[in-house]
A and B are shown apart, each in its own frame.
Chain A
């Protein structure tokens, strides 16, 4: 391992890391915004309402993300109707194609995580809310969803971490994310071991920072569960 190469590739890779952060950040926000309504429809008692979200989740969990990215980027552009439509200025950009594919993918997983959490909210709490006369919407807003968010946080954090790593697939559609940048550098220096090792270190640091934030958030949301100051843990 050539340490000189290992250190010299960091400035270039950091540029790529910034694109990775953007892609994942935007995709996770959009993905969550989609996941919430999908999860709510998914827990509906009406089978017809449940069917749509079910089909959506079935497709996006059942196919590889790489296939989804290729379908959005190379697939849609095959159709003249798409190329002539008002969507083309967005769809012609690899950046937005990656965000669309990532968002839809993470939304499907997040919706399932959220559905599980909603169903795991203790029934007694829902019953109590009803007993004090809360409407259905108010019960969701004040009791079920806040509880569900706390319940799903570890699983959801996992999903975001998986997304950070899956975002390496953006490099297959010309984007110079962290992995794309590493490949571009390797094309010139022919030292994949050093270059990918450096990229791996940056992924590790990014995920470590996120995991630390997650732990802090979990602690805050579950303040009632930690022992009072001075007590043994």
Chain B
């Protein structure tokens, strides 16, 4: 083979490989989750993403017959990452809020959530906003818990953490008087050894929270596919199976 021919063959191979990758990329949906929010999304000992959100993502992908790639992304960069097209959807227990709807579109809710305070057992804590003034309260940064605290108890010393796990760590160390968080995540933590000496306080302070999948604004095709797939897995019982794996009650 002459050099010319070799080059031509190599060039063809490169073009073929490139077009194959492009075709593949079209069919792959990249989904981001956080990986620090058990039991919804967490990273297990072997480094694999696990949890309710991840199972839902996989079930949706199976239903849509799409190849999915699930990636872990820090919580406070998760919406900017979506807008920068690093991935196409966020399945990370994200509350549907008017503020976020200005930046992204949401699917139909895939579960419902409430916010409730947690504090050490045996410690009387009045969770009315007036009584919380001056207390040190933790929450995760860029969450509705953090937002709720800033809007309702501005007189409290509010500490915002990068991950929910860090907020719990500081509650356990005694730096915080209480933490405000999603009930099911707290429920899961209370079952652990570390969380054993803590309990819910008062009634949920907010109970209209709906959790959805975020996609870029205008990505209606993906939005519709996800909504159809979500309806399908709820219909055929796949959703109920996943729910049961994590909670003995329905969180839909």
Contact = CB atoms under 8 A, between A and B. Distances in A.
B76 A187 contact: yes
B99 A78 contact: no
- How many A residues touch the partner, as a band? 10 to 19
Interface residues of B, number: 21
Nearest to A82: B173
B162 A77 contact: no
Given A77-B170, A92-B175, A187-B142, A174 B76 contact: no
A184 B159 CA distance: 11
Given A183-B76, A187-B142, A172 B175 contact: no
Contacts of B83: 190
A139 B141 CA distance: 55
A71 B141 CA distance: 21
Interface of B: 76-77, 79-80, 83, 99, 103, 138, 141-142, 146, 159-162, 166, 169-170, 173-175
Nearest to B81: A192
Given A77-B173, A92-B175, A172 B162 contact: yes
Interface in A171-214: 172, 174, 183-184, 186-188, 190-192
Of the candidates A78, A94, A187, the one having the most CB atoms from chain B within 10 angstroms of its own CB is: A187
8 contacts: A77-B169, A92-B174, A174-B138, A174-B161, A184-B141, A187-B142, A190-B103, A191-B80
Judged by DSSP, the binding face of A is: helix
Given A77-B174, A92-B174, A172-B162, A190 B80 contact: yes
Interface in A123-167: none
Interface string A65-84: 00000000010011000010
Contacts of B174: 77, 83, 92
